[in-house]
Amino acid sequence: MMINSQDKITASQAVVVLANYILATGILTLPRTSVEKVKSPDVWISVFLGGIIAIIAAVIIVKLSQKYPDKTFYQYSQDIVGKWTGWFLSLLIIVYFFTISAFEVRIMAEVTSLFLLESTPTWAIILPFMWIGLYLISSGINSIARLFEIIFPITFVIFLLVAFMSLGIFEIDNLRPVLGLGVMPVLKGVKTATLAFLGPEIMLLLVALMKQSEKTKAVKVVLVGLTIPLFFYVITVVMVIGALSIDGVVTRTWPTLELMRSFEIPGLIFERFESFLLVIWIMQIFATFTITYFAAALGLAQLFKKNIQPFIFGLLPIIYIISMTPKNINDLFKFGDMIGNAALFLFGVFPVLLLFISRLKGGKT
């Protein structure tokens, strides 16, 4: 099916899609990556600032998409900058999307084989994951949005539960002094923090897939949809640094999980809470994986003006091969940084340019 004209989502579903997309690997790695850059406990301020920058970029993207309410980026980019440039730009974005899919899958496989399934080969972990993603995508955006709506409350509840349980080992002194080293370090961390908020680019497609009456609410969608991850990330960073202190954080690859491991509540039958966090984290990664997979498949379908089904199947081996390319976890993180930089460029710079050009061309098409 092409975009089935009845397969639309409501504004609240769009919020959930956006929030689930953004919440991915950041929860586990953000404390470490940002402290590496900032070297002071003021990372939460960087995260705030990063979130605000992301909101600004998202609003620009939404404004651009609202100019062409029924077309996705792949379709209207050709209207703005001409057929071939638009085609090429869309292709870049498609490559970005499926690269992110591959990256997410690989990170999930790494964490799972580290914490849950020590001796299972990586391909055995990735294959069923991708197949379930395939099964979900083939029924369109509405099903995807509904699944996200199911896993979102679960994530929310368990995350808050786990975060507040760590109050036991939380020491506020680890976060002090606030702005002790001045403002400069904070600004250095903003770039890393913004990368954790990668996700608003999905609005390039989502506005076209929203129900007619809800398209005007797209800006609100972005605001709410970005505030939720902002809230999550700030709590994560505060809790992790508060409990482990910045020295502890930089030496651990997955500080959040270590945090969960390090406390215990006497008397409760359940001891190892990191399994809870892993459960919701795997579901979140699944969400990110499916939505980017869908975005890439949809893009290809619209570029080549065909049905989406063959592209869904065709992308499977490509994503798999890309995900198996990094040889170890360091390579993987470098890969992630590369993607992040590309994203900043693609989604920070281009939408502004395109918005400008479309304003020049004048009015709604």
Partner 1 sequence: MWEKILAYIPELKVFMQGFIVFFIPYIIFKLFNGIVSKQEMNDDDMVKIKGQTKPNDELEDQTEESSQESFDYYTGNYNLDVGLVKKEIGHNWDVHFREFHIGNTDIRAAIIFLDGLSDKELIDKHILTSLMGDFSQKDELESLYEKGVFLQSFIKNEVLSVSDITEEYDVKQSIGKILAGTTALIIDGMPNVLMLGIAKGKSRNIEEPVSEALVRGPRLGFTEMLSDNTALLRQHGENSDLSIINFQVGKCTKKELVIAYVKEIADPNLVEEVKKRIETINIDDVAESGYVEQLIEDNYLSPFTQVQNTERPDRVFAALMEGRVAILLDGTPFALIVPVTFSMLLQSPEDYYERWLPSTLIRLLRYLAAAITLFAPSIYISFVSFHQGLIPTKLALSMMGTREGVPFPAIIEALIMEVAIEILREAGLRLPKPIGPTMGIVGGLVIGEAAVQAGIVSPIMVIVVAITAISSFAIPQYNAGISLRMLRFVAMFFAALFGLYGVILFFLLLCSHLVKLKSFGIPFVSPTVPYRASDWKDFMVRMPLMMMKRRPKMLHTKDSSRQD
Least distance to partner 1 from the beta carbon of 285, Å? 10
Q: How far is the CB of 142 from partner 1 (least distance, A)?
A: 8
Nearer to partner 1 by C-beta: 84 or 328? 328
- Choosing from 231, 234, 275, 329, the residue that interacts with partner 1 (CB under 8 A) is 275
Residues 6 or more apart whose Cβ sits within 8 Å of residue 314: 300
What DSSP line would sit under 54-93, residue for residue?
HHHHHHHHHHHHHHSTTS-HHHHHHHHH-HHHHHHHHHHH
Distance CA 262, CA 241 (A): 13
Pairwise CA distance, residues 199 & 98, whole Å? 13
Q: According to the binding rule CB under 8 A, does residue 220 interact with partner 1?
A: no
Q: In angstroms, what is the minimal distance from the CB of 272 to partner 1?
A: 5
Task: Tell me which residues in 68-127 interact with partner 1 (CB under 8 A).
Answer: 112, 116-117, 120, 123-125, 127
Site string for partner 1, 225-264 (x = CB under 8 A): ----------------------------------------
CB atoms within 10 A of CB 41: 25
Q: Which is nearer to partner 1, 71 or 106 (CB)?
A: 106
**Among residues 255, 291, 289, which one has the least CA distance to residue 274?**
255
CB nearer to partner 1: pick between 169 and 324: 324
Nearer of residues 1 and 349 to partner 1, judged by Cβ: 1
On whether the CB atoms of residues 138 and 309 are closer than 8 A, the answer is yes
The DSSP-derived string for 175-224 is: GPSTTTT-SHHHHHHHHHHHHHT--GGGHHHHGGGB-GGGGGGHHHHHHH
For partner 1, which residue of 283, 300, 301, 354 counts as binding (CB under 8 A)? 283
Nearer to partner 1, 308 or 354 (CB): 308
Cα gap 220→204, rounded to integer Å: 15
| Residues from 284 through 313 that contact partner 1 (CB under 8 A) | 286, 313
CA–CA dist 88, 82 (Å, integer): 10
269 near partner 1, judged by CB under 8 A = yes
Binding track, positions 122-151, relative to partner 1; x by CB under 8 A: -xxx-xxxxxx-xxx--x---x-xxx-xxx
Q: Count other Cβ atoms within 10 Å, centred on residue 297.
A: 26
Q: Which CB, 107 or 283, lies closer to partner 1?
A: 283
| Per rule CB under 8 A, count of chain residues that contact partner 1 | 48
Q: Are 205 and 62 in contact (CB under 8 A)?
A: no
- What is the smallest separation between the CB atom of 3 and partner 1, expressed in angstroms? 17
For partner 1, give the closer residue by CB, 85 or 341.
341
Helix (H) or strand (E) holding 350: helix 350-361
Check residue 262 and report its DSSP letter.
T
| Chain position carrying tokens 């050009």 | 357
Q: Which is nearer to partner 1, 279 or 342 (CB)?
A: 279
Task: Verify binding: residue 10, partner 1, rule CB under 8 A.
Answer: yes
> Which residue in 53, 11, 33 sits closest to 333, CA to CA?
33
Residue ranges that bind partner 1, judged by CB under 8 A: 10, 12-13, 16, 112, 116-117, 120, 123-125, 127-132, 134-136, 139, 143, 145-147, 149-151, 269-272, 275, 278-279, 282-283, 286, 313-314, 316-318, 320-321, 324-325, 327
